[in-house]
Amino acid sequence: MSQLFPDYRPSWETDQHRELRKHAAEFFRKEATPNQERWVAQHAVDREFWNKAGAAGLLGLDLPEEFGGTGGDFAMQAVVQEELVYAHDQCFGFSVHSPIVAHYLYVYGNDEQRKRWLPKVISGEAVLAIAMTEPGTGSDLQSVRTTAIREGDTYVINGSKTFISNGTHCDLLVIVAKTDPSKGAAGVSLIVAETNDLAGFERGRVLQKIGQHGQDTRELFFSDMRVPVANLLGEQEGLGFYQLMEQLARERLIIATLCAALAEAAVLEAIKYSKEREAFGRPIGNFQNTKFVLAECKTEALAIKTLVDYAIRQYVDGNNDPMTASMAKLFAAEKCDQVVDKCLQVFGGYGYMAEYPIANMYTGSRVNRIYGGTSEIMKEIISRSL
């Protein structure tokens, strides 16, 4: 239940979602919130935390029971993502692993691949990452330079990737590569690398970001790395670009969900602080300017939430609409940034101190307008419907 809007009920929320919310909130406040400072210092969550999250039943919730999931819906992933944000987590790479990459394996994997990989994904035994972005290649995925050339029963993969979330811990890596460099988008394929003790696979440096310091974002390098042809996702080569386009709406929707929760969390922190901090003999929340700023922020947080919940409802009902997901991500990411910025101002100088959650929200929020497709790309997609 939203603390900022206690009477608000999303149209998609059922009793099962509410029970899950309580469970996720309790788990993350106990297991994630107290460890944020240590995880930031080591640039990654503890590897064992993935196993704990799996044992708690918080990974792969919308995957079938035969693989260890609950057979739920995307909204369950959204609930877990929201509770992570409410718990002030900036470290756990849940959104990449569970709502995004696990779905690639389930939708495009064959029976053998699903049986081999999904139980480990759901238990936390195998951590997932996806290698899309390359140095010099961002949103233009058909221009990737990484190649996967077939030799007999293996692909020989060469290239490099950057900005890879879960780069430290990933055991299974979905690689966007050119199986036929002469065909442009039609030559792109998705290939799964099982990275443990894999010759030719190298994890590069941990990238120093302006925010989300506890997430293990790395460069990855492939040098004559051999992966079985059996690890190709899809019935044939050349489907990767279309698979990516089909799944990006889901990725953008989970980012929008994160932004909606982040805006709420920021407003809650600012309201709390405004009642505790005094200036000129009274709480700063009693000053008209502070009240007006917070009133505006609360209104904007609800506007974000309702649009995102509309998009989630649409997706749960079976309409994977890239335009609506793009609208949700565009509005949520842009407005969340503005809300967090105004809430930080309420804290004055303390808002600039890393020990305060609002400071980490501020630095962590900015990337939401970039990854999963920039705001500019979102506008381009939306404009096609005009």
Q: Tell me, yes or no, whether 245 and 380 share the same domain.
A: yes
Residues 97, 23 share a domain: yes
Q: How confident is the model at residue 6 (pLDDT cuts 50, 70, 90)?
A: very high
Considering the domain architecture, whether residues 92 and 150 belong to the same structural domain is answered as no
Tell whether 106 is covered by a domain.
yes
Q: Is 8 a domain residue? A: no
Residue 10 lies in a domain: no
pLDDT bracket for residue 137 (50, 70, 90): confident
- The enclosing domain of 223 has a CATH number of 2.40.110.10
Candidates 118, 304, 87; CA nearest to 214 is 87
Residue 5 lies in a domain: no
* Same domain, residue pair 307 and 226: no
Task: State whether 224 and 120 are in the same domain.
Answer: no
| Contacts of residue 159, Cβ cutoff 8 Å, sequence gap at least 6 | 134, 144, 145, 146, 147, 177, 221, 222
Q: Is 91 helix (H, G, I), strand (E, B) or coil?
A: coil
Nearest to 37 by CA among 355, 379, 359, 382: 355
Q: Above 70 in pLDDT, residue 249? A: yes
Q: Note down the domain range covering 273.
A: 241-384
**Number of domains into which the chain is organized:** 3
221 and 246 assigned to the same domain: no
Task: Kindly provide the residue ranges of all beta strands, DSSP E only, lying in the chain, ordered along the sequence.
Answer: 128-131, 147-151, 154-164, 172-178, 188-194, 201-206, 218-228, 232-233, 278-279, 282-283
Q: What is the CATH number of the domain that holds 42?
A: 1.10.540.10
Residues 264 and 367 in one domain: yes
- pTM of the predicted protein model: 0.95
Same domain, 182 and 217: yes
- Would you say residue 370 has pLDDT above 80? yes
Statement to judge: residues 115 and 137 lie in one domain: no
Mean pLDDT of 300-317: 97
Summarize pLDDT for 37-51 with one digit per residue, the tens: 999 999 999 999 999
In a domain? residue 2: no
Confidence band for 89, pLDDT divided at 50, 70 and 90: very high
Domain final position from 207, 237, 267: 237
Cα 329 to Cα 299: distance, rounded to the nearest angstrom: 18
Question: Looking at the domain assignment, is residue 4 inside a domain?
Answer: no
Active site residue ranges: 251
User: Among residues 196, 221, 237, which one ends one of the domains?
Assistant: 237
